[in-house]
Amino acid sequence: MEQNVQVQAKPIKIPGPDHPISIARDTERVVVSVAGRVIADTREALTLCEAHYPAVHYIPRKDVDMTLLARTDRTTYCPYKGDAAYFSIPAGGERSIDAVWTYETPTRRSRASRTTSRSTQIGSIRSKSNSERFFHGKTAFNDPRLSIRDSPLRTVESDMFGTMAHFSSFSESSFVEQPGRKIQMNATQLAETANGKAVEELDVLVVGAGFAGLYQLDRLRRLGYNVEVFEAGSDIGGVWYWNCYPGARVDTYGPLYQFSSAELWRDWNYSELYPSWEELRAYFRHVDKKLDLSRDIRFNTRVTGAQFDTDRDQWIVQASDGSVTRARFFVLCTGLAAKPYIPRIEGLTDFRGICHHTGQWPQEGVDFKGKRVGVIGTGASGVQVIQEVYRDVAELTVFQRTPNLALPMRQRKLDDETKRRMKETFPERFRKRAETFAGFDYDVIPKNAMDVSDQERQATYEDLWNRGGFLSWIGTYQDVMSNEEANDTAYAFWRDKVRPRIKDPAVAEKLAPMKPLHPFGVKRPSLEQHYYEAYNRPNVHIVDLLQSPIERVTPTGVKTTDGEVELDILVLATGFDFLTGGLTSIDIRGTNGETLREKWSSGSRAHLGMASAHFPNLLYIYGPQSPSAFCNGPTCAELQGDFVVACIEHVRRNNLRRIEATQEAEEAWRDHVAELVGATLFPRAQSWYMGANIPGKKREMLVYPGGLPMYLQKCKESADAGYAGFVLS
């Protein structure tokens, strides 16, 4: 294989964790080198399509690890460890590796569709180890030692998600393609429907282009799957495409609100500790530029329905543009806040001013200057809008049902030295996420609040308060969410910190009452910067809806039992149908004809928070009864996403077609969640965690309350037992 060749072409450097891979090419010749050594030369054997390279397979000599250079659409990735090569080209020498590439030009993306063709191998060196075998082309190779985290969207190792072996068992496969083996999972085919419209066929269809959806796209694409993302918005970012209301920003600090891949964070910096929506959009553009994700995303495409074809073991998915797509796997990454909730208030449609829900804010924005503004709701978006606009408006009226027990954000600008020091800690921060209750780089204090002295407890609360963020909530004593006496001490500390900031005692009692309306922390607190100071302004007013409920919206304002408030702008910060709403808003029908909405009408049933009986090959991230709302978003996208990827890989590697949760497993998981939450104070509040914010919704715990490490352990136990709780066929 060692050859002395000269090719007059610009080398293309390909990322690899161990050795640099370079490909020199012109229109008639390709030379592939590893660490300066030429290992393959086509010698005019094929004609290249632009930006596409032939696949090069590396196989070991005796005990050298299995490796593979996997060709994706426009890049090449190689975890190179061996020094022997297998290189193949198609018979006839005029087609790239084992495919013919044709081109389509759908909106915002360009795709290549693939049909298989016969290939001939040259210059191959066979391994003598029968346990180290792999398939041709884009079918994955088998080596349980290879980490599933080799994708550029994951580089940090973790004991829980270190290798694919944690989640799947590998079957040995013949080096040469097996006779009769179906490889349709690796092809995009165009079929004709009864009405003559083309139907695209995919291995995996992902819904949603936020953190979770993008992670799935990158991981699955690099494993050779034909995968696309359907996104209702016109750009990537998920919730951060829709969240553009005044003051919108994430309440996770920037170092952890990003993907863990060094390839992505190494040359990215947030300017603030808690990034704004504008900066988060810039981050997603950075990710897209690095990984070229948009070419496999169909924007402005809302999935409206799906049903499972039991004859072909595929999902038939309908979209708002009239298209129909078939996919072996249907992965929903719609997010926990995909369906805005607008309460039925009489006369709401009669209002003649400007009225928007914060989750449906116009991209061009709204001018608040000098306007009379009303805000209904004081959840996260309500708090952010209020503290952003109160200085600019003529009058601001806040309609509050329950006070938000908001915590100090401690926002600050980040200088270059701070950014540099932060990045030195990133690998350890990312590694620690799987070990903490909420997927952050800090955890609850392993002590009970009532087991320490009053002096120590007060000093601890003070320290957490000064450090800011969610530390006072999910970094406090371990019994605060389960012991009422301990919880009372946390609430008293919070109350005594907030009340001095509010000048009017009557207003202070509305915002931080002496006696709590519910336990501290069982409704999600928001992070604030100067929220409470806003109520000291003479133009800011608060209406307690428990005392003066809204009767109706009029053409000119909002009428309560105490009178009418005239408004120019009405902001609906009324929340979402959290966790289940984004999933049940799609008409997804299972094998028994029942929709997901119908199935969950009497309560959520989701094994591991990711799968439901009668819905084979349907998996969802941020689903009900998963850690989702208690977990840092990108953490959940990656760690829960790893299980989904490994599950799909398990099906493919073992020549299976279906995986489906059992009814017994989903009921057992539901009971497990109920048992865990029964030992906490969460049922004591009418919160969206309990589904209580949506009229008619089953009141139940919608979030896994056992913490991320326990959840990951449950996932691992299922996988180690051959995916216990699932039926595979």
**Model pLDDT, residue 211:** 98
pLDDT > 90: percent of the chain: 73
Does the pLDDT at position 183 exceed 90? no
Choice among 27-31, 86-90, 666-670 with the minimum mean pLDDT? 86-90
- Work out the number of other CB atoms within 10 angstroms of the CB of residue 459: 12
Distance in angstroms (rounded) separating the CA atoms of residues 68 and 71: 9
**Model pLDDT, residue 338:** 93
Sign of the CA dihedral 291, 296, 300, 303? negative
Average pLDDT estimate for 60-72: 31
Closest to 617 in 3D by CA, of 262, 185, 281:
185
* Contact by Cβ (8 Å): 557, 407: no
Does the pLDDT at position 566 exceed 80? yes
Distance in angstroms (rounded) separating the CA atoms of residues 610 and 173: 29
CA distances from 99 to 73, 89, 136, 272, 478 (A): 12, 10, 12, 47, 57
**Model pLDDT, residue 79:** 32
Strands 37-41 and 56-58: what pairing?
A: unpaired
* Contact by Cβ (8 Å): 666, 603: no
Does the pLDDT at position 39 exceed 60? no
Continuous segment of H or E residues that includes residue 643: helix 633-653
Q: Give residue 198's pLDDT band: very low, low, confident or very high (50, 70, 90).
A: confident
* Contact by Cβ (8 Å): 578, 337: yes
Does the pLDDT at position 173 exceed 50? no
Lookup: tokens for 634: 């990108």
DSSP state of 178: P
Distance in angstroms (rounded) separating the CA atoms of residues 448 and 461: 13
Does the pLDDT at position 65 exceed 60? no
Reported as a single tens digit per residue, the pLDDT across 534-561 is 999 999 999 999 999 999 999 999 999 9
* Contact by Cβ (8 Å): 128, 156: no
**Model pLDDT, residue 80:** 32
Of 171 and 310, the structure prediction assigns the larger pLDDT to 310
Average pLDDT estimate for 187-204: 62
**Model pLDDT, residue 170:** 28
HSE, CB side, 13 Å, CA atoms: give it for residue 587: 8
Choice among 149-153, 221-225, 717-721 with the minimum mean pLDDT? 149-153
**Model pLDDT, residue 32:** 53
Sign of the CA dihedral 419, 421, 422, 423? positive
* Contact by Cβ (8 Å): 89, 97: yes
SS3 at position 425: helix
Strands 618-620 and 324-332: what pairing?
A: parallel
Distance in angstroms (rounded) separating the CA atoms of residues 16 and 18: 6
Question: Which class for 240: exposed (0-12), middle (13-18), buried (19 or more C-beta within 10 A)?
Answer: buried
Reported as a single tens digit per residue, the pLDDT across 461-480 is 999 999 999 999 999 999 99
**Model pLDDT, residue 550:** 98
SS3 at position 530: coil
**Model pLDDT, residue 217:** 98
**Model pLDDT, residue 165:** 31
Continuous segment of H or E residues that includes residue 287: helix 277-291
Sign of the CA dihedral 366, 372, 375, 381? positive
Q: What phi and psi values does residue 337 have, to the nearest 5 degrees?
A: -130, 55
Reported as a single tens digit per residue, the pLDDT across 647-665 is 999 999 999 999 999 999 9
**Model pLDDT, residue 118:** 25
Does the pLDDT at position 38 exceed 90? no
Q: Give residue 33's pLDDT band: very low, low, confident or very high (50, 70, 90).
A: low
CA distances from 85 to 61, 88, 131, 150, 723 (A): 10, 10, 18, 20, 35
Q: Give residue 5's pLDDT band: very low, low, confident or very high (50, 70, 90).
A: very low
Domain spanning 187-339+578-728: which CATH class is it, in words?
alpha beta
Of 674 and 56, the structure prediction assigns the larger pLDDT to 674
Distance in angstroms (rounded) separating the CA atoms of residues 76 and 71: 5
Which residues of the chain does CATH 3.50.50.60 include?
A: 187-339+578-728
Distance in angstroms (rounded) separating the CA atoms of residues 398 and 373: 9
Reported as a single tens digit per residue, the pLDDT across 577-608 is 999 999 999 999 999 999 999 999 999 999 99
Distance in angstroms (rounded) separating the CA atoms of residues 278 and 363: 11
